[in-house]
């Protein structure tokens, strides 16, 4: 039996994450969804206008993936059958009304406590400065951009404290300096953006995108070992 770090003998080739398929809510939201992904640093490689008037986008997480079949984010409008199903669920459970089903209320409370509680998509950054600059721009857009104002919810997690070098760098960070939330691990950070421009999850209301950075030189970090305080 192979160990956790060994590849089974029957698999000869390397593997990588291929793609993630995301949905925006309405045909009108397509260009705005594409703009948001570009702000997040994804690289648009295709914009295909479909017969129904919606856009089908292909993005890659990094330009090095452009000619490859991995590192892809596809973005398209929610299919009709999925939209109809979500609408039926909302009507049955009173989603968005003052008489929401108790299970919906409980789920909202859990999502408010922990951005990672339900489905989300994570991107690993190689530069903390890049991550900081992206989210500073998102903070500004959420306050001032006519199209994005109020449509972005940003949450930050620092790595568990205890490494003086990492703690000092985060204390000086323009986005992590005053953060008191902590990730489930050390020597890294997480940044989340939740938006109603994209839709996913059990309620189909919003999409949670996560961005991570791991400080180099540490085998034990937020993405290698899950820890509790």
Residue 196 has a pLDDT of 96
pTM of the full predicted structure? 0.91
Residue 9 has a pLDDT of 64
Alpha carbons 190 and 158: distance in angstroms, whole number: 7
Q: Collect the ranges in the chain with pLDDT lower than 50.
A: 1
pLDDT digits (tens, 9 = 90+) for 115-164: 999 999 999 999 999 999 999 999 999 999 999 999 999 999 999 999 99
Q: What tokens were used for 160?
A: 């568990």
Residue 95 has a pLDDT of 95
CATH number assigned to the domain covering 17-77 = 3.10.180.10
Q: Are 170 and 177 in contact (CB under 8 A)?
A: yes
Residue 11 has a pLDDT of 76
Give the Cα-Cα-Cα angle 59, 61, 62 (nearest 5 degrees): 110
Every domain range in the chain assigned CATH 3.10.180.10: 17-77
Alpha carbons 120 and 143: distance in angstroms, whole number: 24
Residue 214 has a pLDDT of 97
Q: Are 111 and 121 in contact (CB under 8 A)?
A: no
Give the Cα-Cα-Cα angle 210, 196, 123 (nearest 5 degrees): 15
Residue 13 has a pLDDT of 85
Look-up of token digits 């969804």: 33
Pairing of strands 152-160, 188-200: antiparallel
Contacts of residue 142, Cβ cutoff 8 Å, sequence gap at least 6: 148, 149, 150, 151, 152, 154
Alpha carbons 220 and 69: distance in angstroms, whole number: 30
């Amino acid at each position: 039996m192979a160990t956790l770090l060994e590849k089974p003998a029957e698999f000869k080739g390397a593997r990588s994450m291929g793609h993630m398929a995301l949905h925006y809510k309405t045909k009108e939201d397509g260009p705005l969804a594409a703009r948001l992904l570009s702000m997040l640093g994804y690289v648009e490689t295709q914009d295909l206008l479909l017969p129904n008037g919606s856009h089908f986008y292909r993005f890659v997480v990094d330009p090095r993936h452009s000619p490859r079949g991995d590192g892809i984010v596809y973005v398209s409008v929610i299919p009709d059958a999925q939209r109809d199903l979500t609408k039926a669920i909302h009507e049955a459970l009173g989603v968005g009304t003052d008489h929401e089903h108790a299970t919906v209320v409980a789920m909202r409370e859990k999502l408010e406590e922990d951005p990672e509680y339900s489905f989300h998509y994570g991107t690993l950054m190689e530069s903390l400065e890049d991550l900081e600059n992206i989210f500073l721009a998102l903070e500004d857009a959420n306050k001032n951009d006519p199209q994005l104002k109020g449509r972005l919810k940003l949450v930050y997690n620092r790595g568990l404290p205890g490494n003086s070098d990492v703690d000092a760098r985060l204390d000086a960070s323009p986005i992590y300096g005053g953060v008191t939330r902590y990730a489930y691990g050390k020597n890294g950070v997480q940044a989340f953006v939740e938006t109603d421009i994209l839709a996913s999850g059990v309620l189909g209301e919003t999409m949670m995108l996560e961005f991570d950075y791991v400080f180099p030189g540490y085998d034990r970090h937020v993405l290698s070992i899950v820890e509790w305080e």
